[in-house]
Amino acid sequence: MSAPIYLDTNATAPLAAEVREAMDPWLQHRPTNPSSVHRAGQRARAAVEAAREQVAALVGGAHEIVFTSGGTEADNLAIWSQLGWPPSGHLVISATEHPAVMEPAVALAALGVGCTRVPVEGDGHVEPGVVKAAVRSDTRLVSVMTANNETGGLQPIGAIAEITHQCGLPLHTDAVQAAAWLDLSEHARGADLLTLSGHKIGGPPGIGALAVRPALGLSALLRGGGQQRDLRAGTEPTALIVGFGAACVRVLARRAQEATRVRALSEQLIDLITTAVPDVHVTVHGPRLPNTVHLCFRYLNGSELVARLDLDGLAASAGSACHSGVTHGSGVLEAMDLAPELARGALRLSLGYHSTAAEIERAGGIVADAVASLRANSRMVR
Ligand code: PLP
């Protein structure tokens, strides 16, 4: 049987060899608490601070880095930190945010904070003017993601930042999916708070960061031993942080080249599938991540397709929020006003730095065959 093909990078990217190598000594030689005053602690401190600079470089070098346990915590920190305690005021988010932004907004709304979800256009992008119209006198924060995890669609962060700054408001952007592919100093230009996650860019899971514009006030979510200048208490996990830093160095060295190579592969994959398969809708035609292919097949159920592809050696995702292994209707596709019969047949194929031309050629054939075979046995009406 041929080697399995992994096209689910937006769920998690394979751990890069150079990341594992960088982490190795920190996993083997203990103790590594960077807050310890002895020499072992100081060595760990130096490694953590070097990694902090590596992560800062990925977002352009102008932000301070607060390490977190991942993208989810960084999103929560960004949002809760700007609404005060007890929380008050008003928050603006887009209708296609990741649950790591949506759910804190829901929790804040239950505590009396106003929350406006601005709608997206049919192609998934937020019109900056709509953000402006949503701002109120008590608005404290606007949060719009850089790139969508399901569709790969990009948001006009630079234009939205201009508006929030005219209104005197900070902008948070969840750049978790964009970081491996886009120059964030350009595509997330003006963002005051940026969320990053290690395991989406070739680093280890369990580590992420909130990049914070220096003058911006931030109140802590986790309180305790005063680590990270009281902004995020908890012993810094040296090995994970070193691995995250190494992943950022790797992305900076390879991003431009990989973005071009992988965009060509993803376009080829779209061509292969849309040529071989009838009744398929390409979800994003506007600006998108180079690695993300989102397709909707009529007369098919996306989760059945994903299960079938898995048996055929291709790891993909139904694209409809599969956050905890539970697949349900996608709020993102609903917000884009996609017809339910299309949204039901959603498939996300997300390529990575590891993807090869030979794999993409094979993947195109596997998807086309699986769709044909499932449709032949489907009871869905044509
Ligand atoms: N934000 C986006 C856009 C994501 O895709 C994810 C992960 O799926 C997260 C946040 C959460 O990141 P983590 O898994 O590091 O908590």
The predicted-structure confidence for 98-133, as pLDDT tens digits, reads as follows: 999 999 999 999 999 999 999 999 999 999 999 999
Is residue 323 predicted with pLDDT exceeding 60? no
Residue of 145, 200, 210 to test ligand 1 pocket, by largest number of atoms within 8 Å of CB: 200
Is residue 370 predicted with pLDDT exceeding 50? yes
Asked if residue 208 has its Cβ within 6 Å of ligand 1, the reply is yes
SS3 state of residue 363: helix
Report the C-alpha gap between 241 and 204 in whole angstroms.
9
Report the C-alpha gap between 340 and 43 in whole angstroms.
55
Please tell me which residue, 329 or 55, carries the higher pLDDT value: 55
Is residue 1 predicted with pLDDT exceeding 90? no
CA of 361 to the centre of ligand 1 (A): 29
Report the C-alpha gap between 26 and 30 in whole angstroms.
7
CA of 373 to the centre of ligand 1 (A): 33
Asked if residue 312 has its Cβ within 6 Å of ligand 1, the reply is no
Asked if residue 101 has its Cβ within 6 Å of ligand 1, the reply is no
DSSP alpha helix (H) spans, 95-213 = 99-110, 128-134, 157-166, 184-187
CA 323 to ligand 1: nearest atom:
8
CA of 290 to the centre of ligand 1 (A): 18
Of all protein residues, whose CA lies closest to atom 10 belonging to ligand 1? 71
Asked if residue 174 has its Cβ within 6 Å of ligand 1, the reply is yes
Paired residues of 173 in beta bridges: 194
CA distances in angstroms from 174 to 75, 79, 101, 135, 339, listed in the order given = 7, 11, 8, 19, 27
CA of 264 to the centre of ligand 1 (A): 25
Burial 37-69 (b: 16+ CB within 10 A, else e): eeeebebbbebbeebbebbbbbbbeebbbbbbb
CA of 71 to the centre of ligand 1 (A): 5
Asked if residue 98 has its Cβ within 6 Å of ligand 1, the reply is yes
Over range 263-268, report the average pLDDT. 98
**pTM of the full structure:** 0.96
Asked if residue 104 has its Cβ within 6 Å of ligand 1, the reply is no
Measuring CA to CA, which residue among 68, 348, 99 is closest to residue 205? 68
Q: Is residue 183 very low, low, confident or very high in pLDDT (cuts 50, 70, 90)? A: very high
Is residue 31 predicted with pLDDT exceeding 80? no
Q: Given the residues 115, 248, 296, 322, select the one marked as catalytic.
A: 322
* pLDDT mean across residues, the chain: 95
Q: What is the largest CA-CA distance in the chain?
A: 71
| Active site annotation includes 167 | no
User: Which structure tokens are listed for 226?
Assistant: 């005063």
The answer to whether the beta carbons of residues 180 and 251 sit under 8 Å apart is yes
Asked if residue 100 has its Cβ within 6 Å of ligand 1, the reply is yes
Of all protein residues, whose CA lies closest to atom 13 belonging to ligand 1? 71
Share of the chain above pLDDT 90, in %: 93
Asked if residue 197 has its Cβ within 6 Å of ligand 1, the reply is yes
The mean-pLDDT minimum among 213-222, 312-321, 341-350, 363-372 falls in 312-321
The answer to whether the beta carbons of residues 238 and 244 sit under 8 Å apart is no
Q: Is residue 379 very low, low, confident or very high in pLDDT (cuts 50, 70, 90)? A: confident
User: Which structure tokens are listed for 191?
Assistant: 């963002």
CA of 149 to the centre of ligand 1 (A): 8
**94 backbone φψ class: left, alpha, beta (φ>0; ψ -120 to 50):** beta
Residue of 97, 177, 289, 292 to test ligand 1 pocket, by largest number of atoms within 8 Å of CB: 177
Report the C-alpha gap between 6 and 349 in whole angstroms.
9
